[in-house]
Amino acid sequence: MIFAVCFMADLQAQDYIYTVDNSILEGEVISIKSSKIKYKRQKNQRGPTFKIDRDKVLMLFNRKGNYLVMSDLAENKGQADEMIDAFMASVEDSVYHPYDKIITKNNDIIPAEILGEDEKNMKYRTAEGKKATIELADVFVVLRQDGSHKLWAYTAIASTTLSKVRTKINSFGDRLISVQTTNAGKPNEEKKVTSSKAIDAKKNDEPDELNDIDFQLYSRKALEKTQELSRYFQIISGKSTDFETSNKAIDLAVALFINEDAAVEVGDVKSVEKKKYKIRKYLENLKRLKYDRVEINWTNVQYVSNLRKGTDGNYYGIVSFQQEFKGFIDGKMVYRNVTTKNMEVILKTYTKQIEGTAMLLWDIFLSDIGVTNNKTS
């Protein structure tokens, strides 16, 4: 489904402030402090300086096309200030972007020259000069050569995606030519683009455990999925998140799981009884929480079991993590819960013909989440 909300930054000589209530403030960012962001309005550059609370801002874009997602700022003030200073200084950089960058819902980056789009597809020319297309439903953000940008997803979801690809963008820079699109893109017959997740097709004597190289790939992808789920929790539980954005975040979160029967176990310190909710029901309950603001952090993420092959051909492992839940009312924390949980993670494989060759592709899905320890304060 193509997202109903689509924002386009057409002017280069201005900055953009995206807020939690889906507003866009255009102008010039003057400073970013611990609690306030100061800016001048685009229509009155010589007028007064305005302020906005930093916790009301999702992300910033400057006129050079660089962005800063506020949730990415480090807890350490010194490190956070370094990130802010780098963002502010980048306005003066003489930056040359050789390609447009298409960022997909799978967090892939496609270097391209965008040729246009119709109601369903975006047309582009790859870094190798081949024409290709990608469905608009698979596109979340576009960063253009001239520094402008376009969001195809709701702001809260787009900021989550940009947060996840920030390191990749910073690492690749102009070397994005080496990045390949995954099966999110659907090139025309002039260009066949294979998945970066492709692994050599195996014979019938598949081992019960994946080898070390495959396990490393699995580990990284599994961690990305757990972090992605945590970010959707933040969006869903935010009081300022509008109804439609919450529902879209729920759909995207549910899609991370192997199916909708996956269950989340919830513990109660006042009782030894543990309740289980199917993932969509759990997320719907999360959306209805009565706090002004919710913080959910996952720490100490680690693997507690080997990756084993099941009778269904999929590979299964267990991830352990500590979840810290904080509920705020009128700026004060009124509830805190720390829970140690185990989550089943499934690597699902499938065979696909690519340019006449059978390739074994895979993806990671989350499954049941259980409580092993619970502490409330």
Q: What is the pLDDT of residues 89-112, one digit of tens each?
A: 877 665 556 788 999 988 888 988
Q: pTM of the prediction?
A: 0.56
3-class SS at 333? Answer: strand
Which amino acid, one-letter code, is at 191? K
Same domain, 84 and 165: yes
Return the DSSP state at 199: B
Same domain, 248 and 345: yes
Which of 136, 154, 178 lies at the terminal end of a domain, its last residue?
Answer: 178
> Has residue 328 got a pLDDT over 90?
no
> Has residue 279 got a pLDDT over 80?
yes
Residue in 69, 43, 73, 41 with CA at minimum distance from that of residue 57: 69
Which of 152, 178, 204 lies at the terminal end of a domain, its last residue?
Answer: 178
Q: What is the pLDDT of residue 188?
A: 39
| Residue range of the domain that includes 86 | 7-178
More reliable by pLDDT, 261 or 4: 261
Same domain, 230 and 365: yes
Confidence of residue 124 (pLDDT cuts 50, 70, 90): very high
Number of domains in the chain: 2
Is residue 77 packed enough to be buried (19+ CB in 10 Å), middle (13-18) or exposed (0-12)?
exposed
Same domain, 173 and 248: no
Domain assignment present for 185? no
Mean pLDDT, residues 281-303 taken together: 78
Confidence of residue 372 (pLDDT cuts 50, 70, 90): low
Please report, rounded to a whole number, the percentage of residues in the chain having pLDDT higher than 70: 75
Same domain, 249 and 164: no
Distance CA 247, CA 4 (A): 13
Chain-centroid distance of CA 292 in Å reads: 23
Same domain, 167 and 219: no
DSSP string, 90-111: GGGS-----SEEEEETTS-EEE
The CATH number given to whatever domain includes residue 320 is 3.10.450.50
Domain assignment present for 194? no
Domain assignment present for 91? yes
Same domain, 21 and 169: yes
Domain assignment present for 189? no
Q: What is the pLDDT of residue 15?
A: 92
Same domain, 59 and 155: yes
Same domain, 296 and 159: no
Residue with tokens 């940008």: 149
Domain assignment present for 198? no
Domain assignment present for 195? no
Least confident of 173-182, 223-232, 274-283: 173-182
Same domain, 220 and 173: no
Domain assignment present for 203? no
Same domain, 140 and 64: yes
Least confident of 52-56, 136-140, 323-327: 323-327
Mean pLDDT, residues 346-350 taken together: 79
Domain assignment present for 200? no
| Backbone dihedral angles phi then psi of residue 177, each to the nearest 5 degrees | -60, -25
Give the C-alpha distances (Å, rounded to integers) separating 11 from 24, 50, 65, 136, 147: 13, 21, 11, 23, 9
Q: What is the pLDDT of residue 16?
A: 93
> Has residue 236 got a pLDDT over 70?
yes
> Has residue 88 got a pLDDT over 70?
yes
Q: What is the pLDDT of residue 77?
A: 85
Distance CA 163, CA 199 (A): 27
Q: What is the pLDDT of residue 184?
A: 39
Which of 178, 204, 239 lies at the terminal end of a domain, its last residue?
Answer: 178
> Has residue 82 got a pLDDT over 60?
yes
Find which of 92-101, 129-138, 185-194 is predicted with most confidence, using mean pLDDT.
129-138
Mean pLDDT, residues 282-288 taken together: 88
Please answer whether residues 129 and 99 qualify as being in contact, where contact means their C-beta atoms are separated by less than 8 angstroms.
Answer: no
Same domain, 170 and 229: no
Gyration radius of the chain's alpha carbons: 22
